[in-house]
Amino acid sequence: MEHGHAAKRLGSPMGPTRPSFLSPRTLQRHALLIVLGILTVILSLSTPSFFTSQNILNLLDQVAVIGVVACGMTVVMIAGGFDLSVGAVVALSAVVIAIAAPAGGVVAIAAGIAAAAVVGLVNGGLISKARVNPFVVTLGMMTIIRGLSLVISDGHSVYDLPSWFGFLGASDVGPVSWGIISFVVVAVGTHVMLRHSRYGRTLYALGSNEEASWLAGINTGRAKTLAYVISAALAGFAGLILAGQISEASPIAGQGYELQAIAAVIIGGTRLGGGAGTIIGTVIGALMLGVIDNGLVLLGVAPYWQGVVQGSIIIAAVGLAAYEKRGGGA
Amino acid sequence: MRRVMSTAVAVLGLGLLAAGCGEASKSSDESSSSGSASAESYKIGITVPSFTFPYYLSYKEGAEAEAKKLGVKILWADGRNNPSTQGPQVETFLVQGAQGIIVVPNDVSATIGAVKRAEGKGVPVITSNRALNTDYSKATGPDAAKKPQNPIVHTGFSDPDVGALQGELVVKACAQKVGAGKPCTVVNEKGQAGSSSTQFRDKGMAKVFAQHPEIKVIDEAYNDYDPAKALQVTQNLLSAHPKFDVLTAPDDNAMTGQLKAVEKADRQDSLLIVSLGGTKQGLSLVEQGKVFGTIWLPPKDDGALAVRTMVDVLKGQNLTTSTVDGVPYVKVPIAGVTKDELSKYPPQW
């Protein structure tokens, strides 16, 4: 993978132009699916409650918020960036929506997601125009936004929300929650954008070789900024899902979500330096994190050990994928 | 990546430095303006674990109200949830000329060094709301402030007491659910793994359960006091245990997430929730019958008592203390509250 010329990859988001079944990327994705499959089988056999419709629906509902954040993170990371501010943006948007809720649903939701998008615009502007390192910019924004959420909510959770808010959390379409539907819509949307739009191809090119992209006539600054806006806006949307799920908005919600989202993206095979990655991989990564979380409780693993086991499985899964990748690509 | 990291660290360091300078210059302005106040007015420094916890926002309100009454000026510091910040804050109070210091430590030992150094400057220190893991003064009499042995006294309530009260409330819930003395299964959802409040509350609760063999804790988990995480953790616990009698919550805020999970799984009629906190929201859920009971904690009383006690120490008055585990203690009353006792306990946060 690494020795492909960036220029050659400009027009092909998936690396090799015609992925055969045995291509390294296919194998890599399959390795992850295999691990996820094995986990699912083990849990189904060893606990009576894992493979019940209620538990699976819970699990998907739990994955929804991180999943939506991770889809946005995938966009930024494919473009070669990084966004640590998303966890704080989840809280900001939730708090803004809750505070603006009395003004009506449409106004409140628009305000929350707009606030989030502005954060993305600032992130993207500083990174692409002022050329500050994304790690530094988004780390700083993380603290700023967390502080602002506390300021506008006076440090308290906002609850006693109007009745339209309840619909987001409680009302389901059949047995499927609103959160799950949102996750599916966002995943399909970002997938189509990355794979089938001109802008999607631009992002892969940008992540592979920024200079070459610029020389090829791409407005790299604008493309990059837009990626951060998408990431932040999706984090804002995730804040709406979260607030709906618990019918309140907490200014300290979403702490550590940035790392969980990055974990899902990396497990899903997106390259850390950018230029390669898929939404399907990210979705699998998010599902894997959710299955592990859920499964460890069902198995009765002692709480202190859960983190140890979780980390080990993540490293093993990514390690296996990397091994497969090397084996297939050599 | 290494260059990125070092840049990040440098920028962070600069930011902290700038923030620190800002604070220092701001507080020195304050101290110069208060210098002209009457000789009667004391200056007291208070550091709290973090103002991101709503509890300490109300604690501050209570303390400020009491300070106004007593003509005291308070210097505030925010521990920002970081064990290493509060020691330096105590030192800063000394530089700013605080006559007394109240520490609400976010770590049981990290501030001990600074608290002992205040002795050398003759500045008395008391702890409030959370105790330090050290020897407290043997002398709490009139001379305590003259040659202080820090910390002098602890005010407020103790986490073991809070845990014990919650344990008793669980026993009461069990008695209502399955009948007194009958086997009762409990799932214990706690705050933060490794935090002192969680550990000490756990100890207090375990002590009560030891006297009630009918109570069986079948599982436990941590939700980090975060309602969103509590929702997930509770969903998983409900899946793992198709039937149990009582679910505990580490605080009223996280409890709202737990309640959501219980209602979603349609289990609200098959189990009772015992919470902790006594917030507006928590007590209103008790009133609605969605939660069996909660522990009423009064942050405003807590903050006011700390300031009052500090002033008593400075004025050389005798303190009425009881001793708990060797710690001299000025207590603020707390209570387990169910629907019947609601009217006696209005929320303070």
Q: Is the ipTM of this complex over 0.95?
A: no
Asked whether residue B172 carries a pLDDT value surpassing 70, the answer given is: yes
> Does the beta-carbon distance from B256 to A54 stay under 8 Å?
no
Q: Which residue has the higher pLDDT, B160 or B244?
A: B244
> Does the beta-carbon distance from A156 to B54 stay under 8 Å?
yes
Contact list in A for residue B236 (CB cut-off 8 A) is 58, 293-294, 297-298
Asked whether residue A171 carries a pLDDT value surpassing 70, the answer given is: no
Question: What would the pLDDT profile of B192-237 be if each residue is shown by its tens digit?
Answer: 887 778 888 999 999 999 999 999 999 999 998 889 899 999 999 9
CA distance A322 to A272: 13
**Which residue is it, tokens 């039937």?**
B243
CA distance A48 to A53: 12
CA-derived radius of gyration, chain A: 20
Contact list in B for residue A293 (CB cut-off 8 A) is 232, 236
Task: Give the model's pLDDT for residue B7.
Answer: 52
Task: Give the model's pLDDT for residue B29.
Answer: 40
Asked whether residue B70 carries a pLDDT value surpassing 80, the answer given is: yes
Looking at residues A43-47, what average pLDDT do you find? 92
Q: Which residue of B has its CA nearest to A241?
A: B228
Distances (CA, A) of B129 to A314, B302, B308: 40, 7, 14
Is A154 touching B (CB cutoff 8 A)?
yes
Question: What would the pLDDT profile of B51-62 be if each residue is shown by its tens digit?
Answer: 888 899 999 999
Chain-wide mean pLDDT for chain B?
86
Residue A294: how many other CB atoms lie within 10 Å = 25
CA distance A193 to A229: 14
Q: Residue B194: is it exposed, middle or buried by C-beta count within 10 angstroms (0-12/13-18/19+)?
A: exposed
Which residue among A50, A157, A245 places its CB closest to the CB of B231?
Answer: A245
Task: Give the model's pLDDT for residue A305.
Answer: 87
Asked whether residue A312 carries a pLDDT value surpassing 80, the answer given is: yes
Instruction: Measure CA B154 to chain center.
Output: 13
Which residue among A140, A253, A304 places its CB closest to the CB of B228?
Answer: A253
Q: Which residue has the higher pLDDT, B332 or B23?
A: B332
Contact list in A for residue B7 (CB cut-off 8 A) is 133, 135-136
**Minimal CA separation from A55 to chain B, in Å:** 6
CA-derived radius of gyration, chain B: 22
Q: Which residues of A275-284 are buried (b: 16+ CB within 10 A; e: fewer)?
A: bbbbbbbbbb
Question: What would the pLDDT profile of B248-272 be if each residue is shown by its tens digit?
Answer: 999 999 999 999 999 989 999 999 9
B217 is written with which tokens? 């804790």
Asked whether residue B50 carries a pLDDT value surpassing 70, the answer given is: yes
Q: Which residues of A186-208 are buried (b: 16+ CB within 10 A; e: fewer)?
A: bbeebbebbeeeeebbbbbbbbb
> Does the beta-carbon distance from A133 to B15 stay under 8 Å?
no
Question: What would the pLDDT profile of A179-222 be if each residue is shown by its tens digit?
Answer: 899 999 999 999 999 999 999 999 999 999 998 998 888 899 99
Looking at residues A56-70, what average pLDDT do you find? 93
Percentage of chain B exceeding pLDDT 70: 88
pLDDT tier at A93, thresholds 50, 70, 90: very high
Nearest to B348, CA basis, from B118, B61, B132, B113:
B61
Task: Give the model's pLDDT for residue B25.
Answer: 41
pLDDT tier at B106, thresholds 50, 70, 90: confident
> Does the beta-carbon distance from B228 to A245 stay under 8 Å?
yes
Q: Is B335 helix (H, G, I), strand (E, B) or coil?
A: strand
Lowest-confidence segment of A119-123, A183-187, A269-273, B266-270 by average pLDDT = A269-273
B4 is written with which tokens? 């990125």
> Does the beta-carbon distance from A58 to B220 stay under 8 Å?
no
Interface test with B, best of A60, A296, A297 (most B CBs within 10 A): A297
Contact list in A for residue B51 (CB cut-off 8 A) is 150, 155
Question: What would the pLDDT profile of B121-136 be if each residue is shown by its tens digit?
Answer: 899 999 999 888 888 8
**Which residue is it, tokens 């709503």?**
B54
Task: Give the model's pLDDT for residue A172.
Answer: 64
pLDDT tier at B147, thresholds 50, 70, 90: confident
Q: Which residue has the higher pLDDT, A201 or A21?
A: A201
Q: Is A151 helix (H, G, I), strand (E, B) or coil?
A: helix
pLDDT tier at A23, thresholds 50, 70, 90: low
Task: Give the model's pLDDT for residue A42.
Answer: 93
Is A219 touching B (CB cutoff 8 A)?
no
> Does the beta-carbon distance from A159 to B281 stay under 8 Å?
yes
Task: Give the model's pLDDT for residue A149.
Answer: 94
Task: Give the model's pLDDT for residue B30.
Answer: 41
